[in-house]
Amino acid sequence: MHSVIQTRSHSILVLYDPNALATEFVRQHLMAIQRHSRHDVAYAAATFDCKADFPLELFDALVIHFSVRMPFETMSPSFVELVSRFSGPKVLLIQDEYDMPRKACALIRKLGVDTIFTTVPKPFVEKFYPPDELPNVRFRSCLTGYVPDELPFELATPLAERRLWLAYRGRRLPIWYGQLGFEKSTIAQRMKAECAARNVPHDIEWEEDKRVNGSAWFTFMTDTRAMLGTESGANIMDAWGDIRSGVLAMAKEQPDLSDDELYRRVVAPHENNVSMGQMSPKIFEAIGLKTGLVLFEGSYSNVIKPDEHYIPLRKDYRNLDDVLKRLADVPSLQKMVDRAYHDVILGGAYGYHRFVSDIDEAIEQASTLGPPRERRPTFALVRIDAQQQSWSAVTPHLPLTAPIELRSPPPPPRLLTGRARDLWLLVPEKVRTPLSALLGPSARRIKARYRQ
């Protein structure tokens, strides 16, 4: 799989986290950049222990994907050093910005990012990214996601033929994300109980082991008349991680405190210090597959409207009976679904092509963009697991034409087993580690010859 096709004007390298690709949204978000860009696009895994075994100067511009999480410093030290020295345009796509944005500023400044695509509403951008900390950075607004390019429309059967009335997959978020975070699990707990009590066909879960990944997510979404949902994001900006640290410290000091009490003491004073409730990628996916929506009341980035595109659910659940009646009225629900599809999907206003065009424009307007550099194609070896229909890299530290997961080679067989291994593990780790490094390779060669 070679990494550069010589057909467009400039070459762009997208840095990403290969561990994030189990989520279909992340994979499609990454692929959309190549699909819609006016330029050549390649990808390089750039997190944790990934190394840049090639010069970044093969490329004219860099795009750092949101899967490389800035405040948690997941970019590998190898890439941090090379990106900071790169002289061309550097664009950052960032999400989950309520998580320690001021800490993210330090790494953004070190990397020398020119442009940030932010999901923060314009009135709050300077609160997240003070101009004196990032004086030369330009900001462009974007959504958390867009209408996917790859949707299995053949699965979008009429609502009357679907098995379930209501479905949901979410997750229980930590206390420091506040009310919007709580809602992702509380809406599931309440609606699962109500559906069970009323014999409403449903599949609603919020625990991590119940998640649905990959293309199976679309099959799940088209098995139901409507998806349950909430706004994405958090209405709390934890600038330096102090709220998170405060919750963890109090929970350690007073382990008997309930989550509600921890929230009241530490988090509640910061609730709504920003307004970040947003349209989530799942909602675009549902509308694209002609699946209805039952959503908590909210703004949803002003993309969709209650009663016109979705059934609003009050946060005190007082209109629950009405919501379930509307789910039972399939003809009316089908009209709402068709209207949402027409307004949101067919118009093209929320397609990835517009988002990627903005990325291209940011790069083309950057003062650091020079003439196209000489093309020097690079090559990397990959393998395909036909049974799992998945790709992995044999030479993982080279740029590729598509983002793929990097599977580590299997660990070498153990030298010691049984009682000998039990005794070895009794040796302190600080002694075992250097001994393994010193003696292990020779011992493995001797063992291999002995077996022959």
Whether 59 maps to a domain, the answer reads yes
Whether 341 maps to a domain, the answer reads yes
Whether 6 maps to a domain, the answer reads no
Per-residue pLDDT at 409? 45
Q: Are residues 295 and 389 in the same domain?
A: no
Give the pLDDT confidence of 25-56 residue by residue, as tens digits: 999 999 999 999 999 999 999 998 888 888 89
Pairing of strands 115-118, 90-93: parallel
Q: Are residues 77 and 221 in the same domain?
A: no
Q: Are residues 26 and 160 in the same domain?
A: no
Whether 265 maps to a domain, the answer reads no
Per-residue pLDDT at 394? 63
CATH, residue 53: 3.40.50
Per-residue pLDDT at 51? 85
Domain that holds residue 359: 11-146+351-393
Output the CA angle 361-362-366, nearest 5 degrees. Answer: 115
Whether 256 maps to a domain, the answer reads no
Per-residue pLDDT at 405? 73
Are 151 and 29 contacting, i.e. CB atoms less than 8 angstroms apart?
A: no
Most distant CA pair in the chain, distance: 76
Q: Are residues 60 and 178 in the same domain?
A: no
Whether 339 maps to a domain, the answer reads yes
The pTM assigned to this predicted structure is 0.84
Per-residue pLDDT at 6? 43
Q: Are residues 25 and 113 in the same domain?
A: yes
Phi first, then psi, for residue 57 (nearest 5°) are -70, 0
Q: How many CB atoms lie within 10 A of CB 175?
A: 19
Give the pLDDT confidence of 71-98 residue by residue, as tens digits: 998 999 999 999 999 999 999 999 999 9
Q: Which of 318, 346, 374 is the last residue of a domain?
A: 346
Q: Are residues 19 and 107 in the same domain?
A: yes
Q: Are residues 42 and 23 in the same domain?
A: yes
Give the pLDDT confidence of 164-184 residue by residue, as tens digits: 999 999 888 899 999 998 999
Q: Are residues 73 and 111 in the same domain?
A: yes
Whether 261 maps to a domain, the answer reads no
Q: Are residues 381 and 292 in the same domain?
A: no
Domain count, the chain: 3
Per-residue pLDDT at 447? 56
Extract the residue ranges of the chain whose pLDDT is less than 50.
1-7, 408-411, 452
Phi first, then psi, for residue 168 (nearest 5°) are -165, 145
Whether 172 maps to a domain, the answer reads yes
Q: Are residues 208 and 299 in the same domain?
A: yes
CATH, residue 208: 3.40.50.2000
Q: Are residues 23 and 167 in the same domain?
A: no
Are 33 and 41 contacting, i.e. CB atoms less than 8 angstroms apart?
A: yes
Q: Are residues 305 and 167 in the same domain?
A: yes
